[in-house]
Amino acid sequence: MRQVSPIDATWLALESRDTPMHVGGLFEFTLPDDAPPDYLKQQVELMREAHTIPPPWNLKLVETPLLAMRLPLMREMRDVDLDYHVRHSALPHPGGQRELGILVSRLHSHQLDLHRPLWEVHLIEGLEGNRFAMYSKTHHSLIDGVSGMRLIMRALSNDPARRDMPAFWTVGEGTRPEHKPQEENGRAPLTRPLGIARGGASALAGLSRAALDLALAAVDERPLQAPYRAPESVLGGRLNGQRRFATQQYELKRLRRLARAAKCTLNDIVLYLSGSALRSYLAEHARLPDRPLTAGIPVNLREPDDLSMGTAVGMMVAELGTNVANPLERLEAITRSTGEAKRHLRELPSPARTSYALLINGPYIAALLAGLGGHAPIPFNLGISNVPGPTEPLYFNGSRLDALFPLSLLLHGNALNITCVSYAGTLNFGFTGARDTLPHLQHLAVYMGQALDEISQILLGKPARAARRG
């Protein structure tokens, strides 16, 4: 038995038909030149023959009494039904991005079975251009974006000739950083409580200052964007479980050239493209707020040697300049806002940075748990993430990975998430939206491409077209 951490237990508590708490990935592969007609069928059969399934892929939630006042438990299963967890699907003709998007949107709308290990994989054949896709989903209580990327890198190879690749659910979770040894009697050294006390005091002091800064930001015009000042928008309100997914892929070197030309960061360019796409989309539907939309931006807080699979992220809030018509002025507004947010986070003591995310999200999560989601104030309008991924081309049993697109979860009050992952010289955007709240979500992807063309023309003197649209 293992106990679920308090943060990961929150994701389990928020699980419902309207707000499924799984994250996913869409991987597009090109078949090897020598692939037989039944290549994908062979891969599915091999994947289902795996005998050793390590944690977290063999962990099943233990049912506890409804009123039990303890954190959930998970236990390891000896036998995992891979016929259930590994599925084989096919796209209708012509097998384009539209057909793939419809299927993946439907798959991402369905809840995971809480009575089984909390993951599924779907191999999808019939993608045009001699390609196939794999869609995976895993409960957020098991994995976050950074640990997910590390898992991908461990389960794929940079050798196109390799044919003995294991499925990723046969690759176990990493280990946490090594801690100082305990004394022989099993008790921690006497200095440990003092260190914990000092760390707690430092975190408390840092959070007190952070709370004061946020309170002041809420009542004056300083650049620091305070949470819970998000304007009312179509992104708010309650959701149902139906999801829609769209994608975009860009050349990373072009985005970095833009960042250098604008003297800002790559993340600022990501936020600019997101804010500009939202501005156009909301204007199309006559739903553009007068005040700028705000984004919650996760910040990776893992140590370099931390290979564990749980959730380890901080948070900052920044504006998206959706109320600014001029593209350069919009980018400048975003850069000012993110600069102040990063400065604020850097000034916090290290122990306070994780807790700072709780300071921002705590009231919102409490409202969700109380059933008030969609009616209570929200800390920001949407989440936007940029996850670092593999830098070199990767292969799975000879099939080249062409693109990987992240799918996120949605909560009441946040009808949209935009997450991008870098891979082999590209930046891959995944738009996860509430289907009934945001009709024609693929228009967001189109508007993002137009925003990239516009800012490229201004800063570089030429447009930068998308490598792939979906």
Give the residue from 116, 117, 102 showing the smallest Cα distance to 54: 117
**Separation between Cα atoms, residue 393 and residue 30, nearest integer Å:** 12
Give the C-alpha distances (Å, rounded to integers) separating 105 from 15, 50, 246, 427.
18, 28, 9, 21
**Separation between Cα atoms, residue 229 and residue 377, nearest integer Å:** 8
Give the residue from 172, 155, 58 showing the smallest Cα distance to 404: 155
SS3 123: strand
| Residue 452 CB coordination number (10 Å) | 24
Q: What is the DSSP string of 281-339?
A: HHHHTT---SSPPEEEEEEE---TT----S--EEEEEEE--TT--SHHHHHHHHHHHHH
Give φ, ψ of 381 to 5 degrees.
-80, -30
**Separation between Cα atoms, residue 41 and residue 82, nearest integer Å:** 15
Q: Which two tokens stand for residue 323?
A: 């109320």
**Separation between Cα atoms, residue 414 and residue 108, nearest integer Å:** 17
Q: Which two tokens stand for residue 348?
A: 């916090």
CB 366 within 8 A of CB 402: no
SS3 33: coil
Could you tell me how many residues make up the chain?
Answer: 470
Q: Which two tokens stand for residue 111?
A: 């809840």
Hey, which residues does 97 pair with through a beta bridge? Answer: none
Q: What is the DSSP letter of 465?
A: -
Ramachandran area for residue 371 (φ above 0: left; ψ -120 to 50: alpha; else beta): left
Q: Which two tokens stand for residue 326?
A: 């001029």
Q: Which two tokens stand for residue 345?
A: 């986070």
- Tell me, rounded to whole angstroms, the distance of Cα 319 from its chain centroid: 19
**What distance, in Å, lies between the first and last C-alpha atoms of the chain?**
42
Q: Which two tokens stand for residue 191?
A: 């200095």
Report angle CA 84, 42, 134 to the nearest 5 degrees: 60
Q: Which two tokens stand for residue 126?
A: 């019939």
* Active-site residue identified among 140, 285, 344, 440: 140
122 catalytic per annotation: no
Q: Which residues are catalytic?
A: 140
